[in-house]
Amino acid sequence: MADSYARAGVDTAAGDLAVELMKKAVTRTHGPQVLGGFGGFAGLFDVSFLTAFKRPLLATSTDGVGTKVAIAQAIDKHDTIGQDLVGMVVDDIIVVGAAPLFMTDYIACGKVFPNRIADIVAGIANACAETGTALVGGETAEHPGLLGVDDYDVAGAAVGAVEADALLGPDRVTNGDVVIAMRSSGVHSNGFSLVRHILAGAGVGFTDHSDALGGTVGEVLLEPTRLYAGPLVRLLDAHPGAVHALSHVTGGGIAANLARVLPRGSWAEVERSTWAPHDVFRVLADMGGIDLADTEGTWNLGVG
């Protein structure tokens, strides 16, 4: 059966090796609340601590990293895309005030290259460890004929918990609240279809060197998404009630995502002189012959 599966394009031995290579990184995210160890059919997480909550709420989020994976594939660098995935998923949980508990991942690929899969998962695991999130399970699926040999995509889902009376959101926001920005690490993981369109139109390749960008184009663009969950969990624990709402700036930019956590009929004044967009945004806009303001609905422009 294994031989016939291999003739169909699925290498189960490579899959087994990938699992073995990622095992150490994944296990490092496991605390005493993770039961059953590594390799079970389902991840188990002990939530008996929730009995101490008055009214526990579970928060969940799922996401991917969009076409940023195309750049990782183009320059054969796969050790940062996992952090992007965790950032996109876990940072959506912290914005409601929930501390992330555990996460699962899914990797679909045209062919399993064990070291590549291990690099991706190690990036996920390292980011999970940094944010206090247990990586309790995942799946790597080989799809020959559907995806190219070097093609892959990643997705993930996570669960967090928050006390009901600590839930953050628009209903807590009041007149006179101060809006504080947290700096992004660059393009993060949305708007890469526009990035790739600009580069293609300018005839710039991902392996080209760019003095304006300060390095190899693909490597600069793969700067991983900043992880906000860890420091924000500590902030919320240390100063309960001080933060009224949080917004994760992804697709839609600053304005659209800020509006999602404002009460109906209210507005926020954002003082643009307090920050400057990263050079990467300016360079890309110039390269594409577009006004930077026209990208505000696509990129984070330096605020995450």
**Mean pLDDT computed over 65-80:** 96
Q: Which residue has the tokens 């009995």?
A: 51
Task: Kindly state the tokens that stand for 36.
Answer: 């059953």
Contact 172, 244 (CB under 8 A): yes
- Calpha distance 180→246 (Å, rounded): 10
* pTM: predicted TM-score of the whole model, two decimal places: 0.91
Distance CA 206, CA 259 (A): 35
The pLDDT of 233-244, averaged and rounded, is 96
Inform me whether the pLDDT recorded for 11 exceeds 60. no
Query: What tens digit of pLDDT does each residue of 98-121 get?
Result: 999 999 999 999 999 999 999 999
Banded model confidence at residue 63, pLDDT cuts 50, 70, 90: very high
SS3 sequence of the chain: CHHHHHHCCCCHHHHHHHHHHHHHHHHCCCCCCEECCCCCCCCEECCHHHHHCCCEEEEEEEEECCCHHHHHHHHCCCCCHHHHHHHHHHHHHHCCCCEEEEEEEEEEECCCCHHHHHHHHHHHHHHHHHHCCEEEEEEEEECECCECCCCEEEEEEEEEEEEHHHCCCHHHCCCCCCCCCCECCCCCCCCHHHHHHHHHHHCCCCCCEECCCCEEHHHHHCCCCCCCHHHHHHHHHHCCCCCCCCCCCCCCHHHHHHHCCCCCCCCCCCCHHHCCCCHHHHHHHHHHCCCHHHHCCCCCCCEC
Cα 208 to Cα 203: distance, rounded to the nearest angstrom = 10
Domain ranges for the chain, please list them. 4-166, 171-295
Tens of pLDDT, residues 272-303: 899 999 999 999 999 999 999 899 999 999 99
Task: Extract the tokens encoding 297.
Answer: 């609905």
Of 216, 226, 244, 189, residue with least CA distance to 64: 189
pLDDT for 263 equals: 95
Query: Can you name the CATH fold of 4-166?
Result: 60s Ribosomal Protein L30; Chain: A; (3.30.1330)
In 3D, which of 214, 163, 162, 154 has the Cα closest to residue 189? 154
Confidence bin at 8 (pLDDT 50/70/90): low
- How do residues 157-207 score in pLDDT, each as one tens digit? 999 999 999 999 999 999 999 999 999 999 999 999 999 999 999 999 999
pLDDT digits (tens, 9 = 90+) for 129-149: 999 999 998 999 999 999 999
Q: How long, in residues, is the chain?
A: 304
CATH superfamily of 171-295: PurM-like C-terminal domain (3.90.650.10)
257-266: average pLDDT: 94
Residue for token digits 């508990």?
A: 101
pLDDT for 86 equals 98
Whether the pLDDT of residue 2 is over 60: the answer is no
Whole-number pLDDT of residue 17: 73
Residue 255: which pLDDT band, with cuts at 50, 70 and 90? Answer: very high
